[in-house]
Amino acid sequence: MQAEAINYIRFGIISPEGIKKMSVAKLTVPDTYNEDGYPIDGGLLDQRLGVIDPGLVCKTCGARAKTCPGHFGHIELVRPVIHSEFSKVLYAILRSTCFECHRILLDPKQVQALTDSADSEAHEQGEEAQRSNGRRAQVKGSKRCPYCKAAQPKLKFSQPTYFNIGDRRLKPDEIRDIVSKISREDLALLGVDLGISDPSWLVLSSLLVPPVNVRPSITLESGERSEDDLTHKLVDIMRINQRLEQNINAGAPQIIIDDLWELLQYHVTAYFNNETSGIPPARHRSGRALKTLAQRLKGKEGRFRYNLSGKRVNYSARTVISVDPYVDINEVGVPFAIAEKLTVPFYVTHWNIDKAREYLKSASYPTVINIIAQDGKRRRVIEGNREELAKEVAPGHILERQLIDGDIVLFNRQPTLHRISIMAHRVKVLPGRTFRINYCTTSPYNADFDGDEMNLHVPQTLEAQAEARLLMDVQFQIFSPRDGGAIIANSEDGIMGMFALTRDGTYVSKDEATYLLGIAGIYGLPEHSKNGMYLGKDIFSMLLPKGINLEAKTAYGAIKIKNGKLIEGAITREAYGKGNLLFERIVSDYGFDRLREFIFASSKLADAYATLSGVTVGVKEYAIDEELEQKRMKIIRDTFAKVSEFIEQYKTKKLEPFIGYTLRESLERIIIAELNIARNNAGDTLVKHAGAGNSAVEMARSGSRGNVLNLEQMSMFLGQQATLSGGRIKRGYYTNRVLPHIPPNDIAPVSRGFITTSFYSGMHPIELFMHAVGSRGSEVYKALLTGRSGYLYRRLSNALQDYYVRKDLSVRDVNNNIIQTIYGGDAVNPLMSRFEKKASE
Amino acid sequence: MTDKIDNEIVPLHALIEGKESRAVLADMQLKPENLPKIFSTDPQAVKLGAKPGDVIKIKRRDYGNAYEIYRLVVEEQ
């Protein structure tokens, strides 16, 4: 998009003459419709203000509803009122000028200093600054006018629109008289943009009435009319205005006139902003506060954020998502009910006209909903004109065809935090009422199936479809742009199944082998078998690309794939996707399509094998026997002994402090390090002791779920509970202890949040408290962090949104300004960084 | 005191001739004002005696990657 430079926008205040010029009608009747249901002339729905009822003709422009843009009218206020949104400006001006001679309360020297600095600024900033040289003179507390020497009365301003000198209230007309006597020079000094604004215009003697299009009335089913909130408020204003006029003409006492005047001021204030501080909000009969002008614009549901920054789109659908492991990872299952309503343009050409006829003639799905002729006229295809249209259709026509299998669509889950929150999927029309996705694609969307809903959009041009296919297709998003690691991959059961199948000693029968491979979509059997049994590794190898080679070391052991066969090692999460070993090799040697096929096939195979063999975890996996219990106790005892030794050294000043730390800080660091060692020690001991055959350990080792730390905390002991700052828990009582059950100043492990029991054994009350301190801390932190980082990211992405990397690898904005001469300083595309490819590839 | 201008971690700045700068701009399809800016009061610009409107070439070495960037000299505001 080419950005057109806007030189400047100038905001001003409408003048009374401006209002008269804009207005097409002076409104005098504080009512809307007469008994016959026709708009009253001179009323708030006067037909000169435009029409919204079908059939009526606008008396100003002669157009009918929908084509008439609406026209402004005005109300003449019998007594002027102050514009409440500008009362602070008026106050500033009144306070800065003399009440006698109306000159600015600055002596010539101060004025000179002010103009000088303004001039030099204007000189430096060029023309732009000169135009709106809005420099408001700072006048504070002058008691006496420097020109006429008159003493200045104390002016008191109270929200929203009241000005008092002593006990006397300044009426709006008085204020207008005062401010209109200020000279142009002084006004300029006060920051008034003369020509398009003037302080006397802030006192309103006529009020602009927006066209009826802005405040349409609704006809209820009962035939009753319900007016817009703005109309209600305008009726109020006109009613009081009329009463005020009658009272003035009848020569009513001044108090009554003043009361009505104040009431008029209130209604006008509420009309502009019903949430003005200092006034009670005007209410509907039901008690609901009226939505007046400011409320229409303001906030999340206001005109700006709701209607201008955010818009509703066509060709989209939204429903609940659910899983289907048999939907490919770049597919999305679309409910039939949605597929038959959404349409894709079918551009009729010389070469596909037969297909176009076929779609047109079809009375049932998939068929054509609309046909768009060359002149852009859209016609609905119905039973009656189907045959006729099929005859007439010609190259250049566009058919709006129902969604069918293979159409490309964009799929999105909010919050759309990164680019992979929107990916392109291929449609697969399915029965049911939910979108179906493969569970491997849940992580980029951060979706689960507990009721999540997602949005689907159908690209409407061939260019958009091609872009979606080439850039946004799921298989191109397998690797994260953050660090190049795989984010679309099999997980949990899928990893477990694959691990169990490929680990040494797994054999399956011929029946099982055909079943597993059949589910994975492969028809055939491995070449080698032993007594009619097939090796698990060989089954898995059937999914690998032919001729692939890989040798790598994982935490679980070496893995060796030779000529398309897994020879050694088991497929763990590390070997598979998240560690990138296998994925990386497949994508660099065989491409993204092959990788997608592999992920899909392996996820089906793994699920099938996990189902077939069964994987069980129970509480018994976390129970520890007598021998391990002894080891656990020994670790704790040894650690505590070591820690008290350090504490003893500290007390006798024998401890050597770390550079840059006090002795006390050094001791703390040593203790924390020692307790960490104890925890790691316990983890290692547990894994060694429980070893193979313990499904919990196997789960952790294969990477399907859980890690050694989790196991250790469940079986051995919880270890040190930390605060957010990373230190041990120490706050509580002023005697320097966390709880009254702890000796004052005690810094032993148990007194500072070290927990010696496990989730399995249960915690002691003090330990439970320490655990709760840690949990509460991290919970609060999490809540604060998500909000903050979310907003930070929003500002960042808005600031960066239309930068792009040009072919010469420079980063530019829409006006061709260079943002970075070379992308990232090294032109490396993080997505491809493991392959050392440049951003252009 | 260490020299803040000739320190080894300060990348090499050089003033380029009008002809060269035009070639560079043409190569990148740029107008001069599209370039990143450098103040004429910047120590490097002062040292090179650069005037507003001149273009300075900076040889940088980040992440072990050597490359050149260009900056337009502007008056400090």
Query: Which helix or strand (DSSP H or E) is residue A558 part of?
Result: strand A557-562
Closest residue, chain A, to B77 (C-alpha): A124
Q: Are A591 and A473 in contact (CB under 8 A)?
A: no
Per residue in A59-107, pLDDT (tens digit) is 888 888 788 888 999 999 999 999 989 988 888 888 888 888 888 887 7
- On whether both A337 and A350 belong to a single domain, the answer is no
User: CB B30 to CB A825 under 8 A?
Assistant: no
Q: What is the pLDDT of residues B13-67, one digit of tens each?
A: 899 888 888 888 888 888 888 999 999 998 889 889 888 989 999 988 876 778 8
Q: Is residue A441 part of a domain?
A: yes
Residues of B in contact with A3 (CB under 8 A): none
- Indicate if A119 and A158 belong to the same structural domain: yes
Least confident stretch, A119-133, A654-668, A737-751, A788-802: A119-133
pLDDT, mean of residues A476-488? 85
Return left, alpha or beta for A137; rule: phi > 0 is left, psi -120 to 50 is alpha, else beta. Answer: beta
Q: Are residues A128 and A224 in the same domain?
A: no
pLDDT at A758: 95
Measured in degrees and rounded to the nearest 5, phi and psi for residue B68 equal -115, 140
Q: Shortest Cα distance from B23 to chain A (angstroms)?
A: 15
Tell me the pLDDT of chain A averaged across its residues: 88
Contact A817 B77 (CB under 8 A): no
| Least trusted range by pLDDT, from A109-113, A532-536, A667-671, A809-813 | A109-113
Q: Residue B37 belongs to what domain range?
A: 12-74
Of A124, A810, A826, the CB nearest to B65: A826
The Cα–Cα gap between A631 and A750 comes to 19
Helix (H, G, I), strand (E, B) or coil at A163: strand
Helix (H) or strand (E) holding A261: helix A254-272
Q: Which of A94-98, A118-122, A384-388, B52-56 has the lowest mean pLDDT?
A: A118-122
> From CA A696, how far away is CA A705, in angstroms rounded?
9
Residue to substitute from A807, A815, A816, A819, interface B, most B β-carbons within 10 A: A816
Residue A826 has its nearest CB partner, among B31, B35, B63, at B63
Whether A357 contacts A388, CB under 8 Å: no
A826 chain-B contacts, CB cut-off 8 A: 62-63, 65
Nearest CA in chain B to A824: B62
Q: Residue A197 burial by CB count (10 A; 0-12/13-18/19+): exposed, middle or buried?
A: buried
The residue of chain A nearest to residue B29, with distances taken between CA atoms, is: A816
Domains held by chain B: number: 1
CA separation for the pair A494, A552 (Å, rounded): 21
Residue B3 belongs to some domain of the structure: no
Window B:13-52, CB contacts with A under 8 Å: 28-31, 33-36
Chain B environment of A124 (Cβ under 8 Å): 77
| pTM for the whole structure | 0.76
User: Quick check: is B24 in a domain?
Assistant: yes
Comparing alpha-carbon positions, the chain A residue that sits nearest to B58 is A821
A681 within a domain of the structure (yes/no): yes
**Residue A175: inside a domain, yes or no?**
yes
Asked whether residue A755 carries a pLDDT value surpassing 80, the answer given is: yes
Q: Is residue A71 domain-resident? A: no
- Residues in chain A with CB shorter than 8 Å from the CB of B29 are 816
Whether residues A752 and A816 fall in one domain: no
* Whether residue A781 has pLDDT greater than 60: yes
Compute the nearest-CA separation of A548 from chain B (Å).
33
Report the chain B residue with the minimal C-alpha distance to residue A806.
B28
Whether residue A1 is predicted with pLDDT greater than 90 in this model: the reply is: no
Domain end call among A173, A201, A229: A201
CB pairs under 8 A between A and B: 34
Mutation for A interface: B25, B27, B28, most A CBs within 10 A: B28
Q: Identify the closest residue of chain A to B34 by CA–CA distance.
A: A817
Judging contacts by C-beta atoms under 8 Å, the chain B residues touching residue A817 are: 33-34
pLDDT at A804: 92
Query: Which residues on B lie below 8 Å from A815 (Cβ)?
Result: 34
Which residue among B28, B62, B77 places its CB closest to the CB of A825? Answer: B62
Query: Under a CB-based contact definition with an 8 Å cutoff, are residues A599 and A577 in contact?
Result: yes
**CATH number of the domain enclosing A573:** 1.10.274.100
Among A247-256, A390-399, A674-683, B3-12, where is mean pLDDT lowest? B3-12
Average pLDDT, integer, range A794-804? 87
Among A63-72, A114-123, A129-138, A596-605, where is mean pLDDT lowest?
A129-138
Q: Choose the closest CB to A818 out of B35, B62, B63.
A: B35
Where residue A567 falls among pLDDT bands split at 50, 70, 90? very high
Q: In CATH, what number is assigned to the domain containing residue B36?
A: 3.90.940.20
Residue A447 above 90 pLDDT? yes
Kindly state the average pLDDT of the residues A433-457.
96
Is the pLDDT assigned to residue B3 strictly greater than 80? no
CB B34 to CB A817 under 8 A?
Answer: yes
The tens digit of pLDDT for each residue in A278-337 reads: 888 888 888 888 889 999 998 888 898 888 888 889 999 999 999 999 999 999 999 999
Predicted confidence at residue A486, as pLDDT, reads 86
Is residue B30 domain-resident? yes
Nearest to A818 among B36, B62, B65 (CB): B36
Token pair 């016609």 in the structure block, residue = A379
Query: Looking at residue A124, what is its pLDDT?
Result: 53
Please tell me the distance in Å from B65's CA to the nearest CA on chain A. 6
Cα of A193 to nearest chain B Cα, Å: 25
Nearest CA-CA partner of A650 in A661, A638, A666 = A666
For B27, the closest chain A residue by CA position comes to A808
**Partner-chain contact A825 B63, CB within 8 Å:** yes
Interchain contact, A818 vs B30, CB within 8 Å: yes
- What is d(CA A646, CA A652) in angstroms, rounded to the nearest whole number? 10
Domain co-membership, A129 together with A179? yes
In terms of domains, do A264 and A142 share one?
A: no
Chain B contacts of A825, Cβ < 8 Å? 60, 62-63, 65, 67
- Collect all residues of chain A within an 8 Å Cβ-Cβ radius of residue B60: 825
Region A201-213: mean pLDDT is 91
Q: Is residue A815 part of a domain?
A: yes
Residues sharing a CB contact under 8 Å with residue A94, sequence separation 6 or more, in sequence order? A155, A163, A175, A178, A179
Q: What is the pLDDT of residue A122?
A: 55
Give the H or E element holding residue A334. strand A331-335
pLDDT band at residue A609, thresholds of 50, 70 and 90? very high
Q: What is the pLDDT of residue A796?
A: 87
Q: Between chains, do A826 and B62 touch, taking CB under 8 Å as contact?
A: yes
The verdict on a CB contact (< 8 Å) between A816 and B65 is no
Lowest mean pLDDT among A138-142, A170-174, A670-674: A138-142
Number of domains in chain A: 7
Instruction: Give CA–CA dist A369/A459, Å, rounded.
Output: 17
Domain membership flag for residue A624: yes
Confidence band for A136, pLDDT divided at 50, 70 and 90: low
**Whether B28 and A817 lie within 8 Å, measured CB to CB:** no
Strands A422-430 and A316-323, bridge-based pairing: unpaired
- Determine how many CB atoms are found less than 10 A away from the CB of residue A553: 12
Three-class secondary structure of residue A612 per DSSP: helix
CB contact under 8 A, B34 and A816: yes
Q: Cα separation of A814 and A804, whole Å?
A: 8
- B65 and A825 within 8 Å at the Cβ level: the answer is yes
Q: Are residues A671 and A524 in the same domain?
A: no
Burial of A727 (0-12, 13-18, 19+ CB in 10 A): middle
Question: How high is the pLDDT of residue A2?
Answer: 63
Report residue A672's pLDDT band, with 50, 70 and 90 as the boundaries: very high
**Together in a domain, A630 and A776:** yes
Q: B12 — contact with chain A (CB < 8 Å)?
A: no
For residue A821, the enclosing domain spans 804-835
Residue A627 falls within a domain, yes or no? yes
Q: What percent of chain A has pLDDT over 70?
A: 95
Question: Using only C-alpha atoms, what is the Rg of chain B?
Answer: 13
Mean pLDDT to the nearest integer, A247-269: 89
Question: Domain for residue B4, yes or no?
Answer: no
- Asked if B68 lies within 8 A of A821 by C-beta distance, the reply is yes
Contact list, B36 vs chain A (CB under 8 Å): 818, 821
* Together in a domain, A629 and A774: yes
Percent of chain A at pLDDT > 90 equals: 48
- Model confidence at A138, pLDDT cuts 50, 70, 90, reads low
Determine the residue among A811, A813, A817 to mutate to test chain B binding: the one whose Cβ has the most chain B Cβ atoms within 10 Å.
A817
Which of A314, A339, A313, A366 is closest to A435 using CA atoms? A339
- Binning pLDDT at 50, 70 and 90, where does residue A631 land? very high
Residues from A contacting B (CB-CB < 8 Å) are: 124-125, 808, 810, 812, 815-818, 821-822, 825-827
Q: Is pLDDT above 70 for A127?
A: no
Cβ–Cβ gap A815/B34 under 8 Å: yes
Q: Do A821 and B36 touch (CB under 8 A)?
A: yes
Pick from A440, A493, A413: which is nearest to A325 by CA? A440
Strands A368-372 and A378-380: antiparallel
Answer whether residue B64 is part of any domain. Answer: yes
Average pLDDT over residues A767-786: 93
Does residue A484 carry a pLDDT above 50?
yes
Comparing CB atoms, the residue among A125, A808, A821 nearest residue B69 is: A821
Say yes or no for a CB contact (<8 Å) between B28 and A810: yes
Listed residue (A238, A258, A262) closest to A248, CA to CA? A258
Same domain assignment for residues A636 and A576: no
The residue among A562, A596, A613 that closes a domain is A613
Q: State the best of B67, B70, B75 to mutate against chain A, taking most chain A CBs within 10 Å.
A: B67
Retrieve residue A724's tokens.
């957010």
In angstroms, what separates the C-alpha of A813 from chain B's closest C-alpha? 10
Contact, A459 vs A426, CB < 8 A? no
Last residue of a domain, one of A613, A643, A665: A613
| End-to-end Cα, chain B, rounded Å | 30
- Evaluate whether residue B50 is within a structural domain: yes
Return the higher-pLDDT residue of A638 and A614.
A638
Residues A728 and A829 in one domain: no
Q: Are residues A586 and A664 in the same domain?
A: no
* Rounded Cα gap, residues A22 and A15, in angstroms: 11
Closest residue in A to B61 (Cα–Cα): A825
Is residue B2 one of the residues assigned to a domain?
A: no
The verdict on residue A820 lying in a domain is yes
pLDDT of residue A134: 45
Residues of chain A with C-beta less than 8 angstroms from the C-beta of B56: none
pLDDT category, A746, cuts 50, 70, 90? very high
